[in-house]
Amino acid sequence: MIGGVVMDASDPRKPLRMVGCGGCGVKNFIPGDLPPLSTVPCTRCGYPIMMPMRLRQFELRAAIASGGMGTVYRAFDLTLEREVAVKLMKPELVQDTNALEGFYREARACASLNHTNIIHIYTFDEWEGHRYLVMELADRGSLDSRIEQEQRLPELDVLDIGIKVASALDSALRHNLLHRDIKPGNILFNAEGEPKLVDFGLARSAEESGEEQAVWGTPYYIAPEKVKREREDFLSDLYSLAGTLYHALTGHVPFESATVEAVLAAHIHTPVTAPHLVVPEVTEPTSEALVRAMAKGPDARFQSYDEFIMALTAARSQLLVSQIRNQGRIVSTAAKNGDGRSWWRR
């Protein structure tokens, strides 16, 4: 060690840097001359360890997720001493006017909102040719990853997520914003398990949504009027949210087909199969709420987020009552069989 810097035994001229593994937590010594953001495998578990990168006071420490616009990193704000997330724009897009506008749009849209279930934006900046967005850290995976891991989520969890995200969308609408790309991958979870709506890169004002535009959205969750290039409004976001909840609840997207064209056609012409017919354990109030929210015609859907939230809340209450009654029956049966007298001793 020279002046507090560990030297490489194989080459004393090459410094090493000690970095913790995000997979197992073991400290590893990695070559200090590695380019920022490059990775080496952990000597213990093989997890990729990233060479940190500094953007002003933000130190990027590990990649969390990647998308079309760039990569999101777990980072540390050295000034305020807190963990944040940094979305770093791809270098090849920095000079792309349309891509930059999308990045700016996302920053402005989120910064104008203040809701528990919408990701908070701290700053948007440029440093030595890098464009980046600093935001609240939500690193406990996405709804997409939960569906992949669990196949389908408990009904109560789906209702809780639906109520909170619908409230977030209602808050955005009150600021005249439509999200326009609701899908499982755009709902993240923080350390407390709270859902956070992200990626307002396609967001438009309610007035702009009536203009002639290309079809935007994820095919599995897109509203019929968007496929037909008709006017979209908040009811299009509502449809996409219901489709997202449908996927989480049943383990299946609303319409499955071998081609994107067939999926889009199904959104226009094929009635969605009620969730309780796909998964019999799903209660009918929840099933009916999602089917109504995914009606082909916007006029047949709930006409406000408040209406949708009320329907989900009522379904949640009925589900909880049903679960309590079932638990009561189990305890009663156990008592009749003589199993309830000594359960507290076990």
Q: Are strands 195-197 and 204-205 parallel, antiparallel or unpaired?
A: unpaired
Number of other residues whose CB lies within 10 A of the CB of residue 242: 28
User: Angle at the Cα of 230 (from 225 to 231), degrees rounded to 5?
Assistant: 100
Q: Where are the alpha helices (DSSP H) in the chain?
A: 97-111, 143-150, 155-174, 224-227, 234-250, 260-269, 275-278, 284-293, 305-336
Active site residue 181: yes
Q: State how far the Cα of 279 lies from the Cα of 250, in Å rounded to an integer.
A: 6
Annotated catalytic residue: which of 8, 96, 181, 299? Answer: 181
Whether 166 and 159 have beta carbons less than 8 Å apart is answered as no
Backbone angles phi, psi at 233, to 5 degrees: -145, -160
What's the CA gap between 93 and 3, in Å, rounded?
Answer: 40
What residues are labeled active site? Answer: 181
